[in-house]
Structure 1
């Protein structure tokens, strides 16, 4: 069931989130490269959330949610379920708030993401992505310990926190005297793209916001086309481990179904090429899921009109050295 509009996050919530996270989150820059402009045939402004605290945008939403908790109401701290980036964001935010954190992670999560999560002080509980229900496991832990669940995307405070990415993009573009004609960002459950679309609807309503996904896991694109939440057939099978949610969230799709211009898809090979391009030309290390928007752009999936300016989000850079080197060749 689609949540009623009055329960959805608003632009005012994004403004509040921006003030709340400002002392702790990095305001990542909006960066331009002449070589990328020439390659795409348009002006491209990149938002590198690879430079964010914990290495991805996820810290924004996690801190915005956790900072509003009453410690007395959650003596057992917080519980989250994540393939890695939300895990690290929650672990770091919980540490700042002085709360214990338990993270339910897939057994096949890249080792670096698991190690980083534990490095922030969180306890990690693993599960089989193909046969077990991570939400069920998290609920059981939360009930047993008196903890609060911090979901990865389907939560108004999470969406508002992620929306600060779009807020900063729109503000920084305006400060340059630029209007972004298109914005491209990736999605798993849809919290980031929902927050971005809310921010641009308020600050730059002419901007068209596009969601980018791995081939075979394009549940948002298919959901936008059908008008209802569609599910992916598989739970695994892409190098983009951060983008394998089975279906869009209820809250996120209620926003995205009204705001997004459409969906773009990139293959794993195109993602690898985008990671290599980001490393060699942009001098940025980007994980597979974080590179999907750039991959769609470099592969010509977006039809760009003459003279247009495009914003693209690189959502994270949490990839271990061995995997990264193998992927980029």
Structure 2
């Protein structure tokens, strides 16, 4: 049995996204605070993998969830409370993807070390290798972008980052993604899990860890809906500042600004994007069904993901 430590797994990720090495309860882990964080690697000569994780939730929360698939096949979901799961395959080379697929607002991801934590991967034979390179898209947003409430109203268990509008679009584009998104967050409103506002969570991985931005092919911003109860003038000032931060952090790739599906602050977002010379993705009528009037359900997520893929395809060519 061969053992891949968190640091060995980290070395397989060419663009590290929002993963980093963190010690949790005296255990070294590959750690992320983001719902929707993805790992991609290939197997070579392996017939069985065992993925070991920490049951790292808040004591009042249901289990955190991971999802995995082989060669772009169907997604399988696993509870972190089981501490491990097995992936069976054959010795040929295969693409394995693992995504952090469920947590709750009670998980203190920012300063309480209650993010997603992978402690190791064990293989029966062969090796793990870096996955082939594909386009990388960074998505900056809130719970809608992260993948909350797609399958229903149960926290964690009904989250579907693997199949929300982002997951759908990425699959259609044959790309991968980095989610920089937290439930309830905005440019003015702090997110849940003790996460600060967007200008702070964009530049940090948690309360004590700065983030060195990756080098994506595209950046997509979908923020504003959680700021709807703040005055327009206050939102305009802060969103303008946030766009300046995004353009300074990502000076090379195209940055696209989405109008929220709810059309919240649509006109000031258009105006500010124009001021920063950033293209706008209009979303009127993109999503016609919702779980709760705000978060797209699975048909709505698929519908909006297909439309987004059509828009983004023009920027990836």
| Normalised-by-shorter TM-score class | 0.3 to 0.5
Give the structure with the larger helix fraction: 1
TM-score by length of 2: 0.32
TM-score by length of 1: 0.31
Give the structure with the larger strand fraction: 2
